Amino acid sequence: MLSLTNPEKQKIAGFLIKGLICFYEIDSKKIYSLPDDEDHFSYDLTPEEEDILDEIEEDPDNYVEFVKMEPYHESLIMEEFADRHVKERSMQEDLFNALAKTKATSSFRVVLENSPQYKAKWNEYLLSKYIDWVQEQLDSHNIMEN
């Protein structure tokens, strides 16, 4: 059964928040992050990144892949944050209005930019949710291995 330390989970969560995918090499306990093809389709991989992908293809059982949340899941987290963690009524309304727009994630972040207090709380909250997400993926990996 594979387990990760809290700093490893935090590091992976941080990469996922940035839109990257991560691979954890079981033998060496190394974490690799690469651009997600879906978000970075015009990005050309570096030779080092191509080498990492080749290694993963050669020995896939030695790697665990971690992916970011689906946009719908992230939007639920934004709604939950606005509902449960924002106490100022006007700020809460601004966040819910942002979530109703076409580019909800961008609009939500723009609103938070104007409030350093809530921006810091949001970043902390999002990181904690992504750490939970990393743990869920790790649990799924462990179930599949048994």
Helix ranges, the chain (H): 6-17, 47-58, 71-85, 89-99, 104-113, 116-145
Task: Please check whether residues 42 and 83 belong to one and the same domain.
Answer: no
Based on the domain organization, do 64 and 75 belong to the same domain? Answer: no
Shared domain for 55 and 88, answered yes or no, is no
How many independent structural domains does the chain possess?
2
Q: How far are the Cα atoms of 1, 74, 84, 129 from residue 99, in angstroms, in the given order?
A: 39, 11, 15, 18
Residue 136 lies in a domain: no
The answer on 81 and 54 residing in a single domain is: no
In a domain, 124, yes or no: yes
39 and 53 share one domain:
yes
Same domain, 58 and 47: yes
- Domain span holding position 121: 71-130
Residue 100 has what DSSP assignment?
T
Q: Are residues 57 and 96 in the same domain?
A: no
**Both 12 and 62 in a single domain?**
yes
- How much is the pLDDT for 41? 55
19: left (phi over 0), alpha (psi -120 to 50) or beta: left
Amino acid at 58: E
pTM of the model: 0.90
Residues 6+ apart with CB under 8 A from 131: 6, 9, 10, 13
Residue 123 placed within a domain: yes
Amino acid code (one letter) for 116: P
Mark whether 60 and 105 lie in a shared domain.
Answer: no
User: For residue range 90-130, what is the model confidence (pLDDT) as tens digits?
Assistant: 999 999 999 999 999 999 999 999 999 999 999 999 999 99
- What is the longest distance spanned by two Cα atoms in the chain? 54
pLDDT in tens, 16-61: 999 999 999 999 999 999 988 655 455 678 899 889 999 999 999 9
- Whether residue 76 sits in one domain with residue 54: no
